[in-house]
Amino acid sequence: MAASLFKWLAVMAFCTPFVGKGPALPAGDIRHPLYISVTEINHNAKDKTLEISVKIFTNDFEAALEKTGGGKVDLSTSSGALDKLVAAYVGKHLRLRVDGKAAVLSYVGRENKEDGTWSYFQVDGVAEAPHKIEAVDDLLYETYSQQINIMHVTVGGMRKSTRLDCPEGNANFVF
């Protein structure tokens, strides 16, 4: 829990210079001035997988899902249809290539923590430590032009990170 909180606070500190750069919000508006997602990708050599977790502010994620799904979305509820919607949305907006081969993200689940929704995915059959991971991460770009997507990739104990500002969605990690 403390490590998760520390990571989220570090992201917020990293992005603080951008607060107030967007349009002013009307008094009483509960939206926040930052639109951020954080994606963590870890190679698990023992299980021969890539473990992927994506954190998005819950209210922003609901807005994006409503925009693409056409109906009211409440991520605090649990349903198979909602899980399918989350898996389809993230699968469309987070695409990976591992050493030149397209990776298939398998949905593991999701949970809400504080003001964020964590979605979990896995890529099977990654036995060797990848040398190159190519990512397209355009989560929420269709909903928020100020969206910032932070990515952290760890392979063999080496961690690399990048920040993608809308509309830039391409990242490469070489190990």
What is the rounded CA–CA span in Å between residue 151 and residue 22?
22
Mean pLDDT score across all residues of the chain: 87
Task: Kindly tell me if the per-residue pLDDT of 26 is higher than 50.
Answer: no
If one counts every other C-beta atom within 10 angstroms of the C-beta of residue 163, the result is 14
Task: Kindly tell me if the per-residue pLDDT of 115 is higher than 50.
Answer: yes
Peptide bond into 23 cis (omega under 30): no
Six-digit token string for 63: 């807005």
Residue 29 pLDDT level (bands cut at 50, 70, 90):
very low
What is the rounded CA–CA span in Å between residue 86 and residue 2?
26
pLDDT of residue 30: 53
Element at 139 (helix H, strand E): none
The answer to whether the Cα torsion of 166, 59, 53, 82 is positive or negative is negative
pLDDT of residue 126: 95
- Comparing 174 with 25, the larger pLDDT belongs to 174
pLDDT digits (tens, 9 = 90+) for 150-166: 999 999 999 999 999 99
Range name among 31-35, 37-41, 132-136 with the lowest pLDDT average: 31-35
Q: Number of helices (H) and strands (E) in the chain: give both, helices first.
A: 3, 10
What is the rounded CA–CA span in Å between residue 4 and residue 32?
20
* Contact between 51 and 96 (Cβ < 8 Å): no
pLDDT digits (tens, 9 = 90+) for 35-53: 999 999 999 999 999 999 9
